[in-house]
Structure 1
Amino acid sequence: MRLSELSGKEIVNYKKAERLGVLGQTDLEIDESTGHINTLIIPNGKWFRVGRQTTSEIRVPWHYIRTIGTDMIILDVPED
């Protein structure tokens, strides 16, 4: 699968029925030696007054991906 085919898909945690973001607004952590994707890095920003933005991120290991569908990427994230 090409990265361009993943772009624009909703990222959903199925256990919480929670939308985490859209791939394309996320970063990927890639192992330089193998070329494998290790982690999805999903920004979780909140806007405050005067245009300031504080940003945290959600890091999702690639092996948490349960299914990649036509419109969504479904994650199986263990509850901590």
Structure 2
Amino acid sequence: MIDVVYFAWVRERIGVPREQVATKAATVSDLIAELRAREERYELAFSDISALRVAIDQTLTDFDAPLEGVREVAFFPPMTGG
């Protein structure tokens, strides 16, 4: 099981701040494919991954990152400064 955490508009579209996901995904991209196949709200949230960032166990990474041994994956929009 992996804890999947959603922030900002990703959380709003999916409707939950976090959930535990049983997955066979090898990479973050594989996990996204599994989530998108679940139902329409996930499809909407992950329809444009160029608008997303991902962190594994609180470390920013990319979508090709492996999930072996990972406890948490977080999805969020890019941060803006000002």
Q: TM-score, normalised by structure 2?
A: 0.33
Q: TM-score w.r.t. structure 1 length? A: 0.34
Greater RCO structure (CA 8 Å; 6+ sep): 2
Q: Per residue, is there more helix in 1 or in 2? A: 2
Radius of gyration: which is bigger? 1
* Structure with greater strand share of residues: 1
